[in-house]
Amino acid sequence: MFLFRWLWKNMKGCRAIYIVALFMTVICQSMYILTPYFTQQITDTFIINENAAENLKNHSDLLVWMLIAMVGFTLIRGALQYGSNMMYEHSSQMLIYNVRKVLFDNIEKQDATFYNRYRTGDIMTRVSGDIDMIRHSVAWIIKTMLECVVLFSASLIFFFSIDWLMALCMLALTPVIMFITWLFKRKVGPMWVDLRERLSTMNTAAEENISGNRVIKAFAREDHEIERFDEYSKAYNMANKKAAFMWLKFFPYLEITAQSLSVVMLVCGGLFVISGRITFGEYTAFSGLIWTLSNPMRTLGNIVNDLQRFTASANKIIEIYYGSPRIVDRSDAIDKPDRFEGRVEFDNVSFSYGDTKVLDGVSFTVEPGETVVIMGETGSGKTTLVDLIPRIYDVDGGAVKVDGINVTSLKLKQLRGNIGVATQDVLLYSDTIDGNISFGDSDMPEEDVYKVAKAADADGFIRRLSDGYDTIVGERGVGLSGGQKQRISLARALAVKPAILILDDTTSAVDLETEKHIQEALASLDFSCTKIIIAQRISTARNADKIIVLKDGKILEQGTHEELIQRDGYYREVYELQK
């Protein structure tokens, strides 16, 4: 029942239409008993009645009106069916729009741990195939269930109004149908859950291969990846067949039991006509409505099958739908609408990924406008350190402060709005270069876009492109070199005029001359900016106000370039190697 309450909650804006559609379905299905009723009356009055000829002569107008009523009610039923189907479709489309909107909004608000836990292919499956199954449940499953219940109930009422014993004979096989359906539900439920997981695995493999196609080609692993995807595809295929064959295994029993109603009808109905218990017209009515009992019984298996699929998909969606990010604004968050000064302080900060400690007791301060370079071996915790400033992650111990305020006490939007980030692994969107640079401020004037592009030493190569700033960047920046992508990423970070600029090895793919130009531009920005730079080049660190060297999550050494080259440490070793 929880799932159906959840559906109702998300049908806001179309509930009235859906209720009208349900009401129309009830009327439409109830009207199916009218044709057999009129057939019974015509048969008993104008065909087998001993006064049939006289009735036909004296009451021919009654016969005409009965025939007109049969045709009229059939047309009305068809119109109601068409109208209700249109309303079901409208409601189901509105439902999935509402669900997809909430789902995507929630995905966007999740913190980094969410994306560490859920694979991209799995998330895409949830917002596409699983949501479409929700639409199917509203547009078909619920509608079909109601049709079966109303049709079955109306027919039973009609049958009992004619002859209770005949009606009971027609119901004799119902317990058998229910038992078979119960067995089927028990067996097929886990299969749909397994099938859903295999679909997610297959989609994840496809997404990873598409996004990583260059790596695959570079290592000539096409055949290996094709074989691996084929294994996932076969596993999904086998799971699909297993679920389908389970339905086919039970279907003959349901079909035979449902068709047995015809045998019951012939035997019991024939005996009752012969004994005079029911008239031939009443037998005709029973015969004309036997499908209203057999069809719901036959459809019951399909409904249970689809309900199990719906349950598997809905549970996957609800898992994310109600998922809450851990990194959110506190109820007493400090409102700081003005531009930040840019003072950053790490106070005995510790952080772990699960059981792996990444940072341990890190403390340092960066004054407004200063440039600090973070250096260290791979895995020393450099990227994690800077991720704690915009609260990509939250510390396990200690505190990260901006302008003297713990970042957990600041509003996320205001905090991150004052921070510009450019990473080594650049993500560019399938948009123009202009659109990528102005990503943080879509209303940015063109002159400002050109200005920050020049500061990032990107203006020259951009203007040499076929369409300049209007050049469409391929997915993830395909078609651009690593250095070009890094410079566009830097321009994007500068475009928001941040109080704190974080550069994570942003110039690793550019030549020394370009790096020098970028450093000069960063030193002469027309706005105050605290710069925290992760770098491996001495040329980047040389002019920094402070250099911090990390090792195994702890500060190994810190100081200026001149101070550190006088010591016999990691920085001195790097300096000697790069001289």
DSSP string, 404-455: TEEGGGB-HHHHHHTEEEEESS----SSBHHHHHTTT-TT--HHHHHHHHHH
Q: Which residue, among 341, 376, 384, 377, has the nearest Cα to 359 in the 3D structure? A: 384
Tell me if 15 sits within 8 A of 39, measured CB to CB.
no
Angle subtended at Cα 192 by Cα 191 and Cα 196, rounded to the nearest 5 degrees? 120
Helix H or strand E encompassing 118: none
- pLDDT tens for 452-480 read 888 888 888 888 888 888 888 866 566 67
Domain ranges across the chain: 2-321, 344-578
What is the DSSP code (8-state) at residue 340? Answer: P
Tell me if 493 sits within 8 A of 422, measured CB to CB.
yes
The predicted structure's pLDDT at residue 410: 93
Distance, in Å, from the CA atom of 369 to the CA atom of 263, rounded to the nearest integer, reads 91
Distance, in Å, from the CA atom of 165 to the CA atom of 255, rounded to the nearest integer, reads 24
* Top-confidence residue, 222 or 91: 91
The contacts of residue 16 (CB under 8 Å, 6+ apart) are none
Its pTM surpasses 0.85: no
Tell me if 99 sits within 8 A of 46, measured CB to CB.
no
CA 205 to each of CA 106, 348, 405, 492: distance values in angstroms, whole numbers, following the listed order: 24, 41, 43, 31
Residue 20 has pLDDT above 90, yes or no: yes
Number of continuous H segments (helices) and E segments (strands) in the chain: 25, 10
CB neighbour burial string for 216-231, b if at least 16 within 10 angstroms, e if fewer: beeeeeeeebeeeeee
Structure tokens at 97: 């729009």
Distance, in Å, from the CA atom of 110 to the CA atom of 88, rounded to the nearest integer, reads 33
Give Dmax over CA atoms of the chain in angstroms: 126
- Looking from the CA of 201 toward its CB, the CA atoms found within 13 Å total 17
Nearest-10 Cα torsion for 357, 360, 364, 368: 20
Tell me if 321 sits within 8 A of 10, measured CB to CB.
no
CATH topology of domain 344-578: Rossmann fold (3.40.50)
C-beta neighbour count of 306 within 10 angstroms: 18
CATH of segment(s) 2-321:
1.20.1560.10
Please give the single-letter amino acid code of residue 160: F
- pLDDT tens for 199-251 read 878 877 777 777 677 667 766 777 888 888 888 888 888 888 887 788 778 77
**Which pLDDT band, with edges at 50, 70 and 90, does 366 fall under?**
very high
Tell me if 491 sits within 8 A of 458, measured CB to CB.
yes
The predicted structure's pLDDT at residue 397: 92
- pLDDT tens for 36-80 read 778 777 777 777 766 767 777 777 788 788 888 888 888 998 999
- Looking from the CA of 76 toward its CB, the CA atoms found within 13 Å total 15
Structure tokens at 310: 């719906």
Residue 509 has pLDDT above 70, yes or no: no
Residue 98 has pLDDT above 80, yes or no: yes
Structure tokens at 273: 């006509």
- pLDDT tens for 299-348 read 777 787 778 888 888 888 888 888 888 888 888 899 998 999 999 999 99
* Mean pLDDT for the stretch of residues 398-411: 93
- pLDDT tens for 428-441 read 887 888 888 888 88
Structure tokens at 276: 């005079």
Structure tokens at 87: 């309303």
Q: Calculate the average pLDDT of the chain.
A: 84
Could you give the percent of the chain with pLDDT greater than 90? 17
Q: Which residue, among 131, 119, 124, has the nearest Cα to 6 in the 3D structure? A: 131
Q: Which of 156-160, 177-181, 269-273, 367-371 has the lowest mean pLDDT?
A: 177-181
**Which pLDDT band, with edges at 50, 70 and 90, does 193 fall under?**
confident
Structure tokens at 218: 């570079």
* 344-578 matches 2-321 in CATH topology: no
Q: Phi-psi category of 128—alpha, beta or left, where left has phi over 0 and alpha has psi -120 to 50? A: alpha
The contacts of residue 554 (CB under 8 Å, 6+ apart) are 359, 360, 361, 362
Residue with tokens 């199990």: 308
Strand, coil or helix: 535: coil
